[in-house]
A = this chain, B = another copy of it.
Amino acid sequence: MSTATAESRPYHHGDLSRALVDAARKILENEGPAALSLRAVAREAGVSPAAPYHHFKDKAELLEAVAHEGWHELDVALSTARASTQDSRVRMTNLGVAYVCFARDNPALYRVMYDRSRDKDALPDQLKDDGAYCQVRNTINENAGGHVTEIDLELATIAAWCAGHGLAEMIGFKQFAPLKELLGGEEAFLRAVFEHLGMFAKFADQD
């Protein structure tokens, strides 16, 4: 049953915090966010329901650790996407597509990441320092040739981030299925949406 790294389970686990986070992610992937209870995580790790409290003060703190891993993996995904092209115009779209694809491929993890952020009313600080948020800002900056106000750069990054997040949360919605079909697949749909982002913005007219 318990597929945890189990031999003869000594009284002291060795690295329980690590095992708990792994167990949580396993449950998230296999059974979705609704099944993610602290007791289920402890069960999966082969440990009593009270054991996690020696490593995390809360259920929330465990989820925080899971979310932290998620953000880091998002960083990696965006870095890879950023290096995928030389064309600075396509690169931005690729970034967006990579972001949404990450959410699509890890829906439960993505949900935990943002549920925690909403509860704290803040994104993780890691993002602004050298994380995924920076990837986006730098790419926009390159894309604009460098001559952009600090404020405009920040605003454009926020706009891009919000659009990406919105699309990430809704990419699986049934209403979009026919349009995806019509455009020849999900990725084509994604690119098309991103390319229509300017259509209703003032910016498109001013440029």
Tell me the A residues contacting B by CB distance below 8 Å: 89, 92-93, 111, 114, 117-118, 121-123, 128, 139-140, 143-144, 151-152, 154-156, 158-167, 169-170, 172-176, 179, 182-183, 192-205, 207
Contact = CB atoms under 8 A, between A and B. Distances in A.
Interface SS of chain A: helix, strand, loop or mixed?
helix
Contacts of A111: 118
Contacts of A161: 166, 170
A205 B89 contact: yes
Number of copies: 2
Contacts of A139: 200
Contacts of A192: 155
Contacts of A151: 179, 182-183
Nearest to A136: B200
A201 B143 CA distance: 10
A199 B161 CA distance: 12
A123 B173 contact: yes
Given A158-B176, A207-B207, 10 more contacts: A89-B202, A122-B173, A122-B175, A128-B175, A159-B199, A162-B163, A163-B166, A165-B166, A166-B167, A194-B202
A13 to B, nearest CB: 31
Given A161-B166, A162-B170, A169-B114, A154 B175 contact: no
Please indicate which of the listed interface residues A163, A182, A201 has the most CB atoms of chain B within 10 Å of its own CB. Answer: A201
A87 to B, nearest CB: 11
